[in-house]
Amino acid sequence: MIAFGPIPSRRLGLSLGINNIVSYKVCSYSCVYCQIGDTKKKSTVRQKFYEPEKLLEDVENHLKKLDKDHTPDFLTFVANGEPTLDINLGSEINLLKKLGIPIAVITNSSLIYDEAVQDDLMEADWVSVKVDSVNKAVWNNINRPLAETDFEKILDGLNSFSSYYKGKLHTETMLVDGMNDSTDILTQNASFIAKLNPQKAYLSIPTRPPAVKEVKPVSEEKITESWQIYQEAGLTTELLTGFEGTDTGFTGNAFEDILNITAVHPLREDTIAKLLEQNKTSLSVIQSLVAQELIKSVNYKGKTYFVRNYHF
């Protein structure tokens, strides 16, 4: 299925996710902190994953299954990979507009230099662009892009897109201990982002199991320093360092809900428990999915999460 949730979002309220990338992860990066795991298929070539009409139909059908308390605030392209790799993204956004719900896209910025990608993103109401570092060596270490990816083109693309985009632009920086948290790196980042003039600059830390197990969030002191540096650069800065909550949307089909959400968003055990309760079912659903090797459990910072298992 394409649509999932909605799930509580620290940025978007109740966000109904749209996974416009087929099956396993396809991405231009393999970020060390990625909650979906390592990228098995790296690509910067845009391709067709779904017919736009099929995506619209799936979202419409999913919305019909939700109760009134879970009407989403946003329809959010947050894929099992990089959503701008979808060559039909612009057409899909335009079709979804008829539903009357604001549309958001969360992108890693890797294709932002492409004029066709910029045109597609112009159609969205809310766009978040990733800027983990404007230092090329740090960018390489933390985002692990394809070797041929042109870093300077990405920076130029961010400047170009921000100058034309009329919707709500946001940036996000994931802070990783020992990688992009030095004062100099943070100051460079804040200075660059300030020129993009985003509505908000988000600072986040890994809160779910990362692709590289050694990855750690920065300390509370470093979070405070980062926030101060961004504020001093004139940025409206917000921290994304907490748990979103357990109130996910449910459709009445617990198997489907869990598989759809865990494809792009690890579910913590307490969130799973509430989802099962809402779907009026039991832990046997989880036991069955684990036994079939469709999902697996991962421990992170003393909590158990469940993620999709793609058998790589």
Amino acid at 74: F
Neighbouring residues of 284: CB distance < 8 A, sequence distance ≥ 6: none
The reply to whether omega before 6 is within 30° of 0 (cis) is yes
Report residue 301's pLDDT band, with 50, 70 and 90 as the boundaries: low
Q: Which residues pair with 107 in a beta bridge?
A: 129
- Mean pLDDT over 264-281 rounds to 72
What does the DSSP 8-state code read for residue 112? Answer: T
Indicate the SS3 state at residue 209: coil
* CA–CA distances in Å: residue 89 to residues 77, 103, 118: 9, 12, 11
What integer pLDDT is reported at residue 107 of this predicted model? 97
- Look at residues 248, 203, 253, 202 and name the one whose alpha carbon lies nearest to residue 223: 203
Q: Give yes or no for a contact between 207 and 215, defined as CB atoms under 8 angstroms apart.
A: no
Work out the angle at residue 143's Cα, subtended by the Cα atoms of residues 214 and 108, and round it to the nearest 5 degrees: 130
What is the Cα–Cα distance from 308 to 292, expressed in whole angstroms?
11
Amino acid at 8: P
In the chain, the domains with their CATH numbers are 3-240 (3.20.20.70), 267-308 (no CATH)
Each residue's pLDDT tens digit, 89-145: 999 999 999 999 999 999 999 999 999 999 999 999 999 999 999 999 999 999 999
- Mean pLDDT over 290-299 rounds to 76
What is the Cα–Cα distance from 157 to 137, expressed in whole angstroms?
19
Order the strands of the 295-300 sheet from edge to edge. Answer: 267-268, 303-308, 295-300
Listed ranges 124-128, 212-216, 251-255; the one with the highest mean pLDDT = 124-128
